[in-house]
Amino acid sequence: MTEAAKQPLLDVHDLRTHFHTFGGTVKAVNGVSFDIAEGEVMGLVGESGGGKSVVGFSILGLIDSPGKIEGGQILLDGEDLVKAGEARLREIRGREISMVFQDPMTSLNPLHSVGRQMDEVLRLHSDLDAQARHSACVEMLESVGISRATERLRAYPHQFSGGMRQRVVIAIALLARPRLIIADEPTTALDVTIQSQILKLMRRQIAEKGASMILVTHDLAVVSEMADRITVLYCGNVVERGRARELIEAPAHPYTRGLIDSIPDPSNRHERLKQIPGTVPDIRNLPQGCNFRDRCPRAQALCAEIEPKLSAQRGSLSAACHFPLNPGESA
């Protein structure tokens, strides 16, 4: 299975989404490019302020004032979503692309029963009759592990626990058989035992339905278990991307290395964690050159002058760094 042979389902090219606030322009996403093949899981990783959620919202055309997509292309099967009108985007949302958020309550309407909300999706995005829609809903709820589905369809969101609600949201996201699912921190609010249930469920459903997924998260451990490829964001830029295992085991960018090293892991016996010094710079006031240089142990004079461009490194990796790491080298 080679990704190169497939035509990408989604191709994001040089996406720039800026927010014009009173305090200045926040360049939340500033030239992000990546692509996703059919059936692939892409992990979008970064810390808060990295712009990872804004990428997801931009793809769905959900950027509200004061935010604006300032440039770039989002090609879904060759169709540019940046140029698409609101009517076309509404058609695409739910049918072609659906979304799973961190807090299930934000995507469920507390006033309507789960069944009604599921039915609505099918009414909008399919031409099934009422009977067929009902059985499709029951089948979907059962497939996400909710027992007594016929009965549970009549229940309201507050009658479900947090984990069950997230299952419902996933069921709704999968209902119209979308080709791409954007999951924004889908398990961050959940406990570990529930998280592992949900992650297993998502993996299985995606494989069964042949959908692709963008998994937006801060948790490298979660993406490393889920994703085929990983894109790492820092201050609105892609700093590194590549196949998941390669990137986790021997990253080329010092930021990725730092992120991985700062995760405490039971198999790692160091008394002190390796930490990335300093904090994320103010995104309204980014330094010239490389955004990461103030926190980077490898930074040299060149890094202050020229912003590194994303370029191919060893294997499947590409990184935006003047002095990339070799395998086994620490930052």
Partner 1 sequence: MTDVTAPMLDVRNLEMHFPLGGGLFDRLRIGRKGPRLDRSVVRAVNGVSFSIKRGEIMALVGESGCGKSTVAKTIARIYKPTGGELLIDGEDVANHDFAQMLPVRAKMQMIFQDPYASLNPRQKVRDIVAEPLLQQAKGAEARREVPARIEKLLARVGLNAEHAGRYPHQFSGGQRQRIGIARALSVTPGLIVADEPVSALDVSIQAQILNLMKDLRDEFGLAYLFISHDLSVVHHVADKIGVMYLGFMVETAPRDVLFARPRHPYTRALLSAAPSIKAKRDKQEIELTGEVPSALSLPSGCCFRTRCPFAWDRCAVERPALRDMGEGQAVACHLIDEPERDVA
State in angstroms the smallest separation of the CB of 82 from partner 1.
30
Q: Which two tokens stand for residue 6?
A: 């497939």
Q: Does 245 bind partner 1 (CB under 8 A)?
A: yes
Nearer to partner 1, 10 or 234 (CB): 234
Instruction: Give the amino acid at 174.
Output: L
Asked if 14 contacts 71 with a C-beta cutoff of 8 angstroms, the reply is yes
Q: Which two tokens stand for residue 46?
A: 């970064």
Nearer to partner 1, 112 or 245 (CB): 245
Q: Which two tokens stand for residue 127?
A: 């031409």
Q: Does 151 bind partner 1 (CB under 8 A)?
A: no
Query: Helix 114-125 vs helix 130-143: angle between axes, to the nearest 10 degrees?
Result: 120
Residue 121's φ and ψ, nearest 5 degrees, are -60, -45
State in angstroms the smallest separation of the CB of 296 from partner 1.
12
Q: Write out the binding residues for partner 1, residues 75-104 only, by CB under 8 A.
A: none
Concatenating the DSSP letter of every residue in 13-33 gives EEEEEEEEETTEEEEEEEEEE
Q: Does 275 bind partner 1 (CB under 8 A)?
A: yes
Nearer to partner 1, 164 or 168 (CB): 164
Number of residues that bind partner 1 (CB under 8 A): 42
Q: Does 237 bind partner 1 (CB under 8 A)?
A: no
Q: Does 259 bind partner 1 (CB under 8 A)?
A: yes
Out of 75, 128, 155, 280, the only residue in the binding site for partner 1 (CB under 8 A) is 280
Q: Does 201 bind partner 1 (CB under 8 A)?
A: no
Closest CA to 212 of 199, 200, 227, 197: 227
Nearer to partner 1, 85 or 266 (CB): 266
Nearer to partner 1, 82 or 230 (CB): 230
How far out from the chain centre does Cα 321 lie? 23
State in angstroms the smallest separation of the CB of 311 from partner 1.
24
Out of 2, 22, 48, 111, the only residue in the binding site for partner 1 (CB under 8 A) is 48
Q: Does 277 bind partner 1 (CB under 8 A)?
A: yes
What's the rounded Cα separation, in Å, for the pair 216 and 42? 8
State in angstroms the smallest separation of the CB of 266 from partner 1.
4
Out of 2, 264, 285, 326, the only residue in the binding site for partner 1 (CB under 8 A) is 264
Q: Does 142 bind partner 1 (CB under 8 A)?
A: no
Closest CA to 46 of 187, 185, 218: 218
State in angstroms the smallest separation of the CB of 216 from partner 1.
14
3-state secondary structure of 319: strand
Closest CA to 47 of 272, 269, 278: 278
Q: Does 207 bind partner 1 (CB under 8 A)?
A: no
Task: Round to the nearest angstrom and report the end-to-end CA distance of the chain.
Answer: 33
Asked if 281 contacts 288 with a C-beta cutoff of 8 angstroms, the reply is no
What's the rounded Cα separation, in Å, for the pair 3 and 5? 5
Residues that bind partner 1 (CB under 8 A): 47-48, 161, 163-164, 191-197, 199, 218-222, 224-225, 245, 248-249, 258-267, 271-277, 279-280
